[in-house]
Structures are given as C-alpha cells and as structure tokens.
Amino acid sequence: MPEDFDVIVVGAGMAGSAAAIRLAQARANVLLVERSPEAGAKNLSGGVLWGHDLDRILPRWTDEMPLERHVVRKRFGLLSAEGAVSIDLEDERWRRAPYGAHTVLRARTDAWLAHEAETAGATVVSGVPVEKLLWEGTTVRGIVQDGAEMRAPVTIVADGANSRLSLGTPIRPDARLDGAATELGIKEVYALSSRTIEERFHLGPNEGHAEEWVAGIFPEGIMAGGFLYTNRDTLSLGLIVNIGSLFGNRTASHDLIERFKLHPAIQSRLAGAELVEYGAKLISSGWASRPRAFSGAGWMIAGDAAGFVFSNGIVIQGMNYAIRSGLEAAETALAADAAHDASAARLREYDRRLEASGILGDFRDFARIDRVKWNPRIYTAYPALAVELFHAMMSEDSQPKRTVRKIFQEVRKRSGVSTTTLLHDGADVARYL
Ligand SMILES: Cc1cc2nc3c(=O)[nH]c(=O)nc-3n(C[C@H](O)[C@H](O)[C@H](O)COP(=O)(O)OP(=O)(O)OC[C@H]3O[C@@H](n4cnc5c(N)ncnc54)[C@H](O)[C@@H]3O)c2cc1C
C-alpha cells in the first residue's frame, strides 16, 4: 500500500505540535491532525509553562509566542479553614531573559504552535477527530477517520490524557485509565485588567505571579491542590482533585471550586474579576499511569497520552514533558525515515531517548510520590497544624512565652497526630517528594 505521509501526528497539543514542527523543519512529509476546530480550543491547562525545550525548534519563542507573563514569584502554601501559611520564592534570574516559567493560555499558544508547524511545511488538519489507529496485527499503519484510512510508516500518538486512541489497544490494554493514577483538573479564567493585576499582585509590566496551595479546606476528606496564576488581563484559578477521594461524596466539582474561591486568602485577589471560562479535564500523572510501552512497530506515544505529567502538590508540570517527548519522538521518526525502517526494534530508540533526556528517570525516581501527595493528613491535619503553629508563634495573647518546640507539641496534640505518625510522614516527604 502506498504511504500518504512519512509521519502522522495525532493531536495538536504541545507534544504533537512540537513533534510536527521538528519533522517539518527536517523536511519530512508530516500530517498533524487535531479534533478541535482550532488547535488549543479544547486544551485546558493551569498554565505555567517551563518551555526551554522549545529552544531546540523555535529559538525566538519567548519573543514570538503569545505568552501571558513571565513568572517572577512563585508561592506555595497550605490553606486551612482558619487561615493560610505560605512561602514565596522571588528569583531575580526570572526577571530577565531567558526567564524561568511563563503563564500561558492554551487557546493562544497551541494555535500559534500549530501555525508554526504549518509554516514549517506540515499539513495541519483541524476539526477532525481521529477515530482509531490503523492496526495490522501488532503494527500501526496510520489512522482511520470516518472509515477512511490514512497511511504512514510512523504514527505519533499525542492525543492527551484519557488517550482514546491507545486505550483498549496493545498500547494500553485496559479500556479505561487507572483511577488511582487519575486526577481531575478544574479550571476557571477570570477577566481583570492588566493594571489591577499588576497593582494587586505587586508586579511590573509583563511580570507574573504563580501560586499553588494544599487545599486543606474540604471537611469531607476530599484531597485537592489549588492554583492561581496571573495572565496578561485574566487570572487562571483551579483545583487538581484526587478522584478517589471524591467517591462517596456528593460534592460537585463546581462546589469545590466555589469553596476554594471563597477562602479569604484567595477571595481578596478575585475582587471585581469576571468569570469568562470554565472547564474540567482528567489528568493521568506519574509512573503508575504509563502505558504498557512507549513505542512499538509503527507507533510512539508522547505527552499526556504517555502519562508524562509530574505533580507533587507543589508544582504541576506536563507541558514541558509534552514538548520534550514530542521532540524525542520526532527525532526517532526522522532516523526511522532515513533508514526506511519503522519496526518495533528501530522505534525503540524513542525509549532510549526518553531515558537519555531524563523524562523516564524523573517519573521512575518519583514513582512513589503519591504516598506523600495523596496522604490524607496533608489535606486535613497538617494545614491546620501549620496555621496553628504560626498563629501561636506570631501572636501575643498575654500568656507566658513558649519555645517553638513547646508550641509545636501543643498544636500537634490538639491535631490528634501522634509523634510517630508525624515522623513517618516527615520521612516520606524527605524520601519521596
Ligand atoms: C487543570 C490543569 C492544570 C494544569 N497545569 C499545568 C501547568 O501549570 N503547567 C504544566 O506544565 N502543565 C499543566 N497541566 C498539564 C498540561 O496541561 C498537560 O501536561 C499538557 O497539556 C500535555 O500536552 P499534550 O500535548 O500531551 O496533550 P494535550 O494538551 O491534551 O493535547 C492533546 C491534543 O490532542 C487532541 N486530540 C485528542 N484526541 C484526538 C483525536 N482522537 N483526534 C485528533 N485530535 C485529538 C486534543 O484536542 C488536544 O489538542 C495541567 C493540566 C490540567 C488539566
């Protein structure tokens, strides 16, 4: 059968577009297929992009890509019903090129990246949901859409979390994602003028602020982390929720975000902002969510579809891994094209590249991070304990002064967490986080 393309890439997210750009720059005949009418239209992401892997294909991306703000301050904190404790990192290096992270809105960045792929020479087709991969035995020969086949020696699967193209196939034999390795992302976008954002968050022009919270505010035992990021003239706000902790609860995702927004530490920054967008999406993160293999005869899988999202409660990073894995898949496809060989053995080079680029190491090394990230005490006892501890240390109540140790023992006792449990949890944090 004649081939229609050298490489087919499914999904114009960060992974798929990065792959298509690299392939087109190397003059491969590449098709990039996206189900949304425009790339990015359905892509929901909290929005802190660590994009330095883009240097490999778009050296001027920080000047040309529609970025929102460069992040100059990151905050991490614990929210309890009574208050909030947080740490700010302000790093002078983030104030100057090449900067650190940028806040982004995916509708803008993804449309731009797909356009870059087209400019480089890729055939970009939007508004076409690929139905399935074209399997012949254990080999992928391309894609099927509306009963029509499109053939290529190599197909890169980059269709995001809940990858319908891989579920129930030899790539991911289970027809569903593993619930234990799946999280629910909820996000809202609020319009607020640039000037108000800069005044309210103490930022200069184009400077951004990003914060992540352990949301110890859901008494039903729901475990969730929250985020708030500043864009040019909008704020992105949301929650990453442990799906298992939602079971048996009647709380709707909308109620969760309402409660997060009403916390005084968050609410004060939203005054006058107007809701303009709401969305929810699954996230499959970490080593446990990896597919059976990352490559096989005629195929490779990249980005969220491969489970390459790192989240530890302090950061969530997936776009960087999406770009890097997309680029490694593209390099492998180019080598396969040159050798006229897209066998499983040849495409295993992708696995080697994932290893050499540090992606697999990052996920393997943090394989047991869920022990810390989804420890229920992190969302119940500890935020309250931290707030009480700092409250006692930083207040004056006409009582005799106590040492930190004494205060700590008092609030620990009140929290109901034994010293042994605390030591175990502390050891887990040191070992797995
Ligand atoms: C709430 C939330 C907050 C997040 N915050 C951050 C953050 O701050 N920083 C960060 O780095 N990461 C964050 N992430 C993770 C990040 O969004 C993902 O890791 C990243 O988007 C992965 O890119 P991708 O290209 O692999 O997949 P996606 O961005 O999901 O792209 C997949 C593309 O494939 C298309 N597609 C799907 N199925 C088909 C089909 N059958 N046919 C054709 N096209 C198809 C989709 O429309 C989409 O365009 C967050 C995620 C969520 C949900």
- For the domain made up of 7-67+104-172+291-357, give the CATH fold: FAD/NAD(P)-binding domain (3.50.50)
Contact present, 96 and 233 (Cβ < 8 Å) = no
Residues in the chain: 433
Six token digits for residue 412:
């620990």
Question: Does residue 34's CB lie within 6 angstroms of at least one atom of ligand 1?
Answer: yes
Contact present, 312 and 25 (Cβ < 8 Å) = no
Beta strands in 131-273 (DSSP E): 132-136, 139-145, 148-151, 154-157, 182-191, 207-216, 224-230, 234-242
Q: Taken in order 257, 258, 263, 269, is the CA torsion positive or negative?
A: positive
Question: Does residue 20's CB lie within 6 angstroms of at least one atom of ligand 1?
Answer: no
340, HSE (Cβ side, Cα atoms, 13 Å) = 1
Q: CATH number of the domain at 182-284, please? A: 3.30.9.90
d(CA 11, CA 35): 7
| pLDDT reported for residue 400 | 87
d(CA 421, CA 52): 40
Residue nearest to ligand 1 atom 38, measured at CA: 159
Beta-sheet pairing, 299-301 with 154-157: parallel
DSSP annotation of 400 reads P
User: Which atom number of ligand 1 is nearest to the Cα of residue 129?
Assistant: 42
Spacing, Cα 110 to ligand 1 middle (Å): 10
Question: Does residue 187's CB lie within 6 angstroms of at least one atom of ligand 1?
Answer: yes
Residue nearest to ligand 1 atom 1, measured at CA: 185
| pLDDT reported for residue 44 | 74
| pLDDT reported for residue 285 | 81
DSSP string across 112-158 = HHHHHHHHHT-EEE-S----EEEEETTEEEEEEETTEEEE-SEEEE-
Question: Does residue 46's CB lie within 6 angstroms of at least one atom of ligand 1?
Answer: yes
d(CA 58, CA 424): 46
Contact present, 400 and 92 (Cβ < 8 Å) = no
| pLDDT reported for residue 178 | 74
Residue with tokens 């809105």: 105
d(CA 202, CA 391): 25
Spacing, Cα 287 to ligand 1 middle (Å): 17
Which neighbouring-strand residues pair with 241?
184, 224
CATH 3.50.50.60, the chain: domain bounds: 7-67+104-172+291-357
Question: Does residue 211's CB lie within 6 angstroms of at least one atom of ligand 1?
Answer: no
Six token digits for residue 395:
């207040």
d(CA 16, CA 351): 17
Spacing, Cα 39 to ligand 1 middle (Å): 11
Six token digits for residue 259:
């409660």
CATH 3.30.9.90, the chain: domain bounds: 182-284
Spacing, Cα 354 to ligand 1 middle (Å): 19
| pLDDT reported for residue 177 | 76
Residue 230, helix vs strand vs coil: strand
Question: pLDDT means per 10 residues in the chain (433 residues)?
Answer: 93 98 98 94 82 97 97 96 95 93 96 98 97 97 94 98 94 82 90 98 97 92 94 96 84 89 96 94 88 97 96 89 98 98 98 98 91 90 93 89 88 90 92 84
Spacing, Cα 131 to ligand 1 middle (Å): 18
Question: Does residue 100's CB lie within 6 angstroms of at least one atom of ligand 1?
Answer: no
Question: Does residue 281's CB lie within 6 angstroms of at least one atom of ligand 1?
Answer: yes
Spacing, Cα 85 to ligand 1 middle (Å): 31
| pLDDT reported for residue 219 | 78
Question: Does residue 115's CB lie within 6 angstroms of at least one atom of ligand 1?
Answer: no
Question: Does residue 12's CB lie within 6 angstroms of at least one atom of ligand 1?
Answer: yes
Beta strands in 243-377 (DSSP E): 274-284, 295-296, 299-301, 310-311, 316-317
DSSP string across 2-71 = --S-SEEEE--SHHHHHHHHHHHHTT--EEEE-SSSSTTTT-----EE--GGGGGT-TTHHHHS---EEE
Name the CA radius of gyration of the chain, rounded. Answer: 23
| pLDDT reported for residue 46 | 67
| pLDDT reported for residue 124 | 98
Contact present, 226 and 247 (Cβ < 8 Å) = no
Spacing, Cα 16 to ligand 1 middle (Å): 10
User: Which atom number of ligand 1 is nearest to the Cα of residue 308?
Assistant: 19
Residue type, 208: G
Question: Does residue 163's CB lie within 6 angstroms of at least one atom of ligand 1?
Answer: no
Spacing, Cα 160 to ligand 1 middle (Å): 5
Spacing, Cα 304 to ligand 1 middle (Å): 6
Spacing, Cα 341 to ligand 1 middle (Å): 30
Provide the edge-to-edge strand list for the sheet that holds 7-10: 123-125, 30-33, 7-10, 154-157, 299-301, 295-296
